Amino acid sequence: MSEPEEREATIRQSVRERYGGIATAEGNGCCGGSASSCGCSSPHEAGTSCCTTGYTDTELASIPPGSNLGLGCGNPSQLVPLRPGEVVLDLGSGAGVDCFLAANRVGPSGRVIGVDMTPEMLSRARDLARSSGRTNVEFRLGEIEHLPVADASVDVVLSNCVINLVPDKGQVYREAFRVLRPGGRLAVADVLATRPISDEMRNDPERWSSCSSGALTRDEVTERLRSAGFESIEVKVLGEDPAPESLRSQAELGVVSGEVRATKPGGSPP
């Protein structure tokens, strides 16, 4: 195995172990277990979530308890219109919070697919879907760089604070493009880098798996989306470069939350 391959394998294992532990822990996690991730500015209290940015109380009351582990940095299902009868795919679906919200919007005639590489997360999400009687949601084991989804079979691809965790983000966007139907939409809530991140930080598995050092800049995300074939690309930085004296791991690296939208060419106008 080459050095880059070893690095990617180490990162992937670190991510899998971190989020597998969160899935089986009591209470909710906070973007990897600390208030330093996904923009949390206050300490995490047991059994609560401090990273629920973008979710309304009504939305959270409409989904199975235990599906929101506080791991996101936005609300991707609100970034694009979701219509009854559509097929939605969530990349890195975790315990299912964004899948269940999307399922409410596409209705019984629609379908939502969640893909996650962590067996513990998958088990939790499936249990929640079963116990809550959600028949229009399914969860599949897989890596988002190699989606277990057919070509041109999805109307909307969502993701929430997950793509930053993947070493090859260009491959993620190519896969998203492959599974989308012509005219399909991509909506991502994720972290973005506001300044360059050193190789030392990028090679730190702990930093990477806590939604910090794997972040790309707005221009880097735009370039990867364009190379994958997307059009109508919009990458929006939501925060400002944090003060360098902050002790939070993300703030130290200039990493803030952001929104990404793009469209696969073709299809009828929305």
Q: What is the CATH number of the domain that holds 34?
A: 3.40.50.150
Dist. CA 241–CA 248, nearest whole Å? 12
Residue 34: its pLDDT value, please?
Answer: 37
Residue 213: its pLDDT value, please?
Answer: 83
In a domain, 270, yes or no: no
Q: How far is C-alpha 199 from the geometric centre of its chain's CA atoms? A: 23
Residue 5: its pLDDT value, please?
Answer: 73
Q: What parts of the chain have a pLDDT lower than 50? A: 26-52, 243-247, 270
Angstrom distances, CA of residue 230 to CA of 112, 227, 260: 22, 7, 12
Q: Where are the alpha helices (DSSP H) in 108-168?
A: 119-131
- Contact (Cβ atoms closer than 8 angstroms) between residue 192 and residue 251: no
In a domain, 35, yes or no: yes
Residue 224: its pLDDT value, please?
Answer: 98
The whole model's pTM is what?
0.86
User: In angstroms, what is the C-alpha Rg of the chain?
Assistant: 17
In a domain, 268, yes or no: no
In a domain, 39, yes or no: yes
65: nearest Cα among 11, 124, 105, 139: 124
Residue 268: its pLDDT value, please?
Answer: 66
Residue 214: its pLDDT value, please?
Answer: 86
Q: Which domain holds residue 115?
A: 3-263
In a domain, 204, yes or no: yes
Residue 52: its pLDDT value, please?
Answer: 43
In a domain, 132, yes or no: yes
Domain count, the chain: 1
- Contact (Cβ atoms closer than 8 angstroms) between residue 267 and residue 182: yes
Dist. CA 263–CA 146, nearest whole Å? 20
Residue 217: its pLDDT value, please?
Answer: 93
In a domain, 145, yes or no: yes
In a domain, 269, yes or no: no
